[in-house]
Structure 1
């Protein structure tokens, strides 16, 4: 093999640039897979199945572009704390491999034109105005574009993998194509091809992954607890059915001793539940009912073992047998 062929066959030094906003709304919203392990998703699932050439992830493998949620604009009471836990978990588990680069959210009052239901074809300039809240993520797109272009133009990478479907990134990709030999991979953050790849982005890429499967998201989940001086735990609201999870925990805690032990029990395969872990079963009402029934049977079994006849007479309400 010639030197040129050896170079062509060697793995491409690769870095991944993730638009967190696009990833969340394209793949994660309304799923139980928000506790996502980005490294596993791309290193073990996306790149091996999509990139035409072998990829060698750089020590700093992933640049994740996001913004802190504004509490006054959040949809859930724990949105801010849950996002913070997620970022802390990634930083703990992948220190030096994942870089979280934050922009910010802007929340402002703005005027908007109302659509007249009686005449929807009326031009906006003739419509009535109303005040609305305008929430915008700032800097993330710019940061992603600049970081990818910088890494390409300085020769730090041989392949950039862009995870977005936002056309604002197109000018940066065009510059990378025009001024470097860097390969461009495009991963559209969508489930089961729910979103058509942006044609402008797709034309600039050397290869395109049109969607991320639910099976891949399910496989690439962080451990429930990330150890450390202060452990970081998956938010309970991020499970498939937090309501069913809480019902089971209420019954399991008195038996196991505390919430942590209850979770540990729920994560282990149980021979009395067809070898399934209770945490898997509580994703559905029928599965949760199966777990609840098992716990209740177990509690009844304990009650029968520790029945009054087996107790020390001094511990019973009835007087001791003096015969």
Structure 2
């Protein structure tokens, strides 16, 4: 056994992406290698990655293709389990914030069609289920005594009750890694880890990765 005992890692994929990876070149992240860098001396026995299958948007029609390549790369890691929630796309009407001036209206007495009315239709995307999946797996694995220490990669306060159960009722240690490295974290554990760029750089998959079917999985060009 490792000197610091057994560990399991629980990652909110959207939280990690928007907190630390979006706009970076570190998206091709090997979660097993990264977890080892975050938890030196621990035996990392399971990594739970919670996400949802996205769909393309008019401004980024190939987003789902890139995600699919990444999920296929993760499938080559024996310690990683991917749990999928639901990705919802809707087109609700929402209240607009009127600008101080409108160039297209100019000096017209009546407002133009784009400024008329108090609401505007928007495209809204939502991810559902990652926080619940993460919380359930954390508690279940704790009760099944699968770890001595859990690393939770998220800053979502909705999973605080699950963290509290694992700490207070099961006596397990919980380390929280906030992808945003917030000064005032929303999620509290026994210890904090900062999500620094250097370990992210060090823990990149090679390109290509050889999948279980022997086919090459290539890093998306826009992630270079």
TM above 0.5: yes
Q: Which has the higher contact order (CA 8 A, sep 6+)?
A: 2
Is 1:218 matched with 2:201? yes
Distance 1:196 1:74 in 2: 35
Is 1:110 matched with 2:95? no
Which secondary structure does the structure 2 equivalent of 1:208 belong to?
A: strand
Which secondary structure does the structure 2 equivalent of 1:215 belong to?
A: helix
Distance 1:139 1:236 in 2: 29
Distance 1:133 1:76 in 2: 13
Highest Rg: 1 or 2?
1
Please report the RMSD computed on the Cα atoms of aligned residues, expressed in angstroms.
Answer: 2.1
List per-residue Cα deviations over 1:255-279 (Å, max 9, x = no partner). xxxxxxxxxxxxxxxxxxxxxxxxx
Give the aligned partner of residue 49 of structure 2: 64
Distance 2:134 2:81 in 1: 12
Paired residue for 1:39, among 32, 37, 51?
Answer: 32
Write out the 4+ residue segments of structure 1 that deviate beyond 3 Å after TM superposition. none
Give the aligned partner of residue 108 of structure 2: none
Which consecutive unaligned segments of at least 5 residues does structure 2 have? 101-116
TM-score, L = length of structure 1: 0.59
Give the aligned partner of residue 42 of structure 2: 55
TM-score, L = length of structure 2: 0.84
Q: How many residues align?
A: 206
Paired residue for 1:154, among 144, 162, 179?
Answer: 144
> Residues 101 and 82 (structure 1 numbering): CA distance in 2 closer, same or farther, change over 3 Å?
same
Which consecutive unaligned segments of at least 5 residues does structure 1 have? 1-8, 49-53, 119-126, 240-323
Give the aligned partner of residue 231 of structure 1: 216
Distance 1:30 1:174 in 2: 33
List per-residue Cα deviations over 1:264-307 (Å, max 9, x = no partner). xxxxxxxxxxxxxxxxxxxxxxxxxxxxxxxxxxxxxxxxxxxx
